[in-house]
Amino acid sequence: MNTAEVIPMHSKPEEKQTPNPAWAFNLDPVHSWAYWDKAFSKEECERIIQIGNDRTIRQATTRGGADKVRKSEVAWLYPSDDLDWAYRRMTDIITSLNDRFFKFDLFGATEGFQFTKYVAPGGKYGRHIDSSPGTLIRKLSFTVQLSQSDDYKGGDLCLYLGDKP
């Protein structure tokens, strides 16, 4: 397993809020997000991209159908796509992050890996929440950058904890 440093990026445990004076209670220690550096080597990323490109790719949509939030293509990748090694790696990383920062009761992946291609000009996935009523419960979401960031312009992942990313 990769031993890269894991850094929580939002919570500041040293900053204590004043508890309700009517009843002392502990504040929720769950972090908003964290990251793991270098989950896959360059060669492993290229292999995942090759497998993703070989799968059936379709226009991505969100629950509402016609979409102003998203312009991309997707394919779904599963362990049976010669990706059991990638699933094992991500399982180890997600379990480690969850144990350290989130403490959710995780029981497995209920969806495949969504392989997403953004094509210039205009490829995007705008501000959204990774859940909606009537769908599978997503306790944690993760994003893996497979391509080299100097191969394109834009494409920054923005996390919103309020109005500003």
**Predicted local distance difference test score (pLDDT) of residue 3:** 47
What are the pLDDT digits (tens) for 63-100?
A: 655 567 788 889 999 999 999 999 999 999 999 999 99
**Predicted local distance difference test score (pLDDT) of residue 38:** 94
Contact call for residues 45 and 146 (beta carbons, < 8 A): yes
**Predicted local distance difference test score (pLDDT) of residue 14:** 53
What are the pLDDT digits (tens) for 30-43?
A: 788 999 999 999 99
Domain ranges of the chain: 38-146
Residue 72 and residue 165: Cα distance in Å, rounded?
21
